[in-house]
Amino acid sequence: MNVKEIFDSMSYGPAPESSAEAMAWITRHNGAFGHWIDGAFTKPGASFATSNPATGQVLAQVSQASEAELDAAVKAARRAQPKWAKLPGHARAKILYALARLVQKHARLLAVLETLDNGKPIRESRDIDVPLVARHFYYHAGLAQLLGAEHPDLAPLGVCGAVIPWNFPLLMLAWKVAPALAAGNTVVLKPAEYTPLTALLFAEITREAGLPKGVLNIITGDGDVGAALVNHPDVNKIAFTGSTAVGRKIRQATAGTGKALTLELGGKSPYIVFDDADMDSAVEGLVDAIWFNQGQVCCAGSRLLVQEGIADRFHARLKRRMDGLRIGDPLDKCIDVGAIIDPAQLATITAMVDANAEGETYRAATPLPAGCFYPPTLISGLSAASPLMQEEIFGPVLVSMTFRTPEEAVALANNTRYGLAATVWTENINLALDVAPKLKSGVVWVNATNLFDAAAGFGGVRESGFGREGGWEGLLAYLKPAATAKPLKPVAAFPAPKDPETPGLDRTAKLYIGGKQARPDGGYSQQVWSPKGKLLGHVGTGNRKDIRNAVEAAHAAKGWAKTTAHARAQILYYIAENLSARATEFAARLRDLTGANGASEVEASIQRLFTYAAWADKFDGAVKAVPIRGVALAMNEPCGVIGALCPDDAPLLGLISLMAPAIAMGNTCVLVPSEPFPLAATDLYQVLDTSDLPGGVVNIITGGHAELAKTLAGHMDVDAVWSFSSSDISALVERESAQNLKRTWVNNGLARDWAGAAGEGRAFLRQATEVKTVWVPYGE
Ligand code: NAI
């Protein structure tokens, strides 16, 4: 080829990275690995092969952990944990800092090994994965340094189990290990079976960094090993990234065990291009969004929504760009698209695409090498309900639809059960910042895509999971209150006396739905007796239908989220004022119900309403110091509809303690009041009615906690469920919540001092909000 021809074609010559060092590292281990337990490798046992997806060549044999090996890893982590947690923050910070430095020192080896094991282009592992890993350890060294001073009341959870996927093997390890260690936990991590090698190399590096034995343990194996780790009784938290199907199983398996849980699951993230977008940049962004890592990315911009007027031009430019993508040997520095992780994944992608008969399918013209490769593909003209529009393909396949108006774009974008990420392209900042909060997703990129940083929270809503990774918000998922809670005794209703006096006037409190009093659907009610054997009244027995009606009313009232925080604060003050005006009556009611002095509970309830009125416009988000020219906004958004089983032990204060933070943050709610002492809540209807609270923002359904919890926790349109009931229902709530993977917050049978500091504050506000990270790069 002469120079003129080179300039004409602009084709690149091959520039392969050598695999020699990485292969030499494998050979030093005789091509077979055991597990990393208590600071050393175990002898290789029953093993399976891990291969290079680009060539099919076996790289090494890796061990399938036995139960005894898993147990040894957990024991090592347990032994090491107290000492690790007791180290001053600075000592942990120094080790995390050393890890960051060592990742940089070994960056080339780590990048090559990652590409060999995973098939991703070396350009990505070298320029994205490994630098982000180092950044994560640097950032968390800082958090370890500051944690004690910033959160003196928090303590580590203990032993954390981490189960990670194959698409970003080392990066996902960093996302789990760095915060866990910074917070003083120890870890047992299971890498994905396709990609265990960089985790094992990292384990060796921890020794160089002086990480004490047992603080990080790595066991390899398949999904059964993952399940065994999840089920191990001596693990305090599970942090999982992977498929929604497995996430759901893990939610069910951990229900009621008291294990903390964060799930980062699948997605079908929209990529919205408005007609005023910088089209070349938007096309380039899209290449990154869907062909980065062959589309095997949980937050891949896999659903293109393009404004109708520019759709033809946009698709044409996109196709031209697709034809220029270079597909092939991932170790070649000129390659854009590497290998699919495994023939099984290739078969899944192929089957999904082949099953589609709708729209037009366009495949990149670039020749496809033999082996585990799939061509960059665009399928346009699909309908919103098409399976390919709804299901995660997890491959280099983009599906596309058009829209006319911003409203339609938002509706289409949100027409998914997922909610991980979204991208918006427009030169109109007003439009971008109007659309971003309306998108149901944990991350929004404006005029950019796939930006990640340790300082900025990443994670989803809906069936994309819950919890954030990165930032202080990510660290908090590895901490708990330092104070130990006492077990909560069941609180029973006072029984009817043997020889009850003839009841006077029948007074049956109704339910409260959509701002109106409603008769219970079943037509049943229960008596409520005082400790002295006096009949205080009747209360409606709510059922499934009542819960459904209440959820519907709560949805209809969702405009509440759009009212200003100032307006919400005023209404909370107003509720407090109206309660205060009737304080004597409420105190008497509480005394009648429980026998305790009600005056202090009423006073505490008024104060609590003031607290959250105060917080309504002060629980700010943040602007994250991310390394771009621009900002990453961490916005505290309401969760949506929150269902809450209220405490039995503080019938009025407990309910107010849950209702007030929920509505202060813009949520609507369905509250099930104290089962034995419901009348304090039913008296509240009038207070709410006279306080300008829009109907449906608060709905109250009296009845049995266990029965109502099941419907509430299983309801597909409820976004979060809290349970502070004294009935033993934490397991039930967590298990049922798996249906739509809603967030849960349960007491696990532990008591809380509702009148004290534990009864209010930031912990409640955090539960009432989701952090949405909106990335807005700026400049020409
Ligand atoms: P997966 O969710 O099955 O695997 C992720 C990790 O979980 C692996 O380490 C695996 O060994 C482990 N695991 C499997 N079953 C388990 C169980 N019952 N309990 C505990 N751990 C378990 O994902 P897989 O099979 O690798 O890929 C299947 C599909 O999942 C992909 O096609 C893609 O759609 C999706 N996926 C999504 C990811 C994301 O980041 N959102 C990452 C990987 C896969």
Q: Which of 17, 114, 124, 264 is catalytic?
A: 264
Q: What is the number of other CB atoms lying within 10 angstroms of the CB of residue 149?
A: 8
Work out the average pLDDT over 539-564.
97
DSSP string, 44-108: P-SEEEEE-TTT--EEEEEE---HHHHHHHHHHHHHHHHHHHHS-HHHHHHHHHHHHHHHHHTHH
pLDDT tier at 8 (50, 70, 90 boundaries)? Answer: confident
Residue 9 in this model has a pLDDT that exceeds 80: no
- pLDDT at residue 505 in the model: 65
Question: Under DSSP, is residue 723 helix (H, G, I), strand (E, B) or coil?
Answer: strand
pLDDT per position as a tens digit, 175-196: 999 999 999 999 999 999 999 9
Among 9-23, 130-144, 458-472, name the one with the lowest average pLDDT: 9-23
Residue 85 in this model has a pLDDT that exceeds 70: yes
Mean pLDDT estimate for the chain: 97
Give the residue, by CA position, lying nearest to ligand 1 atom 38.
242
Ligand 1 mean position, distance from CA 77 (Å): 24
- pLDDT at residue 593 in the model: 96
Residue 208 in this model has a pLDDT that exceeds 90: yes
Residue 477 near residue 468, CB atoms below 8 Å: yes
Residue 119 Ramachandran class (φ > 0 left, ψ -120 to 50 alpha, else beta): left
**Phi, psi angles (nearest 5°) of residue 3:** -60, -40
pLDDT per position as a tens digit, 228-264: 999 999 999 999 999 999 999 999 999 999 999 999 9
Each residue of 260-293: b (16+ CB within 10 Å) or e? bbbbbbbbbbbbbbbbebebeebbebbbbbbbbb
Q: What is the number of other CB atoms lying within 10 angstroms of the CB of residue 127?
A: 12
Residue 161 near residue 238, CB atoms below 8 Å: yes
The verdict on pTM exceeding 0.95 is yes
Alpha carbon 749 to chain centroid, angstroms: 24
Q: Tell me whether residue 264 is one of the annotated catalytic residues.
A: yes
- pLDDT at residue 502 in the model: 67
pLDDT per position as a tens digit, 682-726: 999 999 999 999 999 999 999 999 999 999 999 999 999 999 999
**Atom nearest to 165 CA in ligand 1:** 5
CA atoms within 13 A on the CB side of 423: 31
Q: At what angle do helices 223-231 and 67-86 cross, to 10 degrees?
A: 50
Work out the average pLDDT over 403-415.
98
- pLDDT at residue 442 in the model: 98
Residue 473 in this model has a pLDDT that exceeds 90: yes
Can you tell me the distance from the alpha carbon of 547 to that of 563, in angstroms, rounded to the nearest whole number?
25
Ligand 1 mean position, distance from CA 297 (Å): 12
Q: Which are the contacts of 650, defined by CB distance < 8 A and separation ≥ 6?
A: 601, 657, 674, 754, 755
- pLDDT at residue 498 in the model: 87
pLDDT per position as a tens digit, 474-529: 999 999 999 999 999 999 999 999 887 766 667 889 999 999 999 999 999 999 99
Q: At what angle do helices 197-208 and 169-182 cross, to 10 degrees?
A: 40
Residue 186 near residue 80, CB atoms below 8 Å: yes
Sign of the torsion formed by the C-alpha atoms of 482, 483, 484 and 488: negative
Residue 740 in this model has a pLDDT that exceeds 90: yes
Which residues partner with 443 through β-bridges? 421, 773
Residue 4 in this model has a pLDDT that exceeds 90: no
Token pair belonging to 682? 């039913």
Ligand 1 pocket (Cβ < 6 Å) reads 163-167, 190, 192-193, 222-223, 226-227, 230, 241-243, 246, 249-250, 265-266, 298, 345, 348, 392, 394
- How many H-runs (helices) and E-runs (strands) does the chain carry? 28, 33
Residue 107 in this model has a pLDDT that exceeds 90: yes
Token pair belonging to 699? 């709905």
- Looking at the chain, the whole-number percentage of residues with pLDDT higher than 70 is 99
Side by side, the strands of the sheet bearing 525-529 are: 508-509, 535-540, 525-529
Token pair belonging to 631? 């900002």
Report strand pairing: 377-380 vs 360-363. Answer: antiparallel
User: Which residue intervals of 415-564 are DSSP H helices?
Assistant: 429-435, 471-476, 544-556
pLDDT per position as a tens digit, 267-296: 999 999 999 999 999 999 999 999 999 999
Can you tell me the distance from the alpha carbon of 172 to that of 501, in angstroms, rounded to the nearest whole number?
67
- pLDDT at residue 619 in the model: 97
Q: What is the number of other CB atoms lying within 10 angstroms of the CB of residue 44?
A: 18
Can you tell me the distance from the alpha carbon of 176 to that of 454, in angstroms, rounded to the nearest whole number?
11
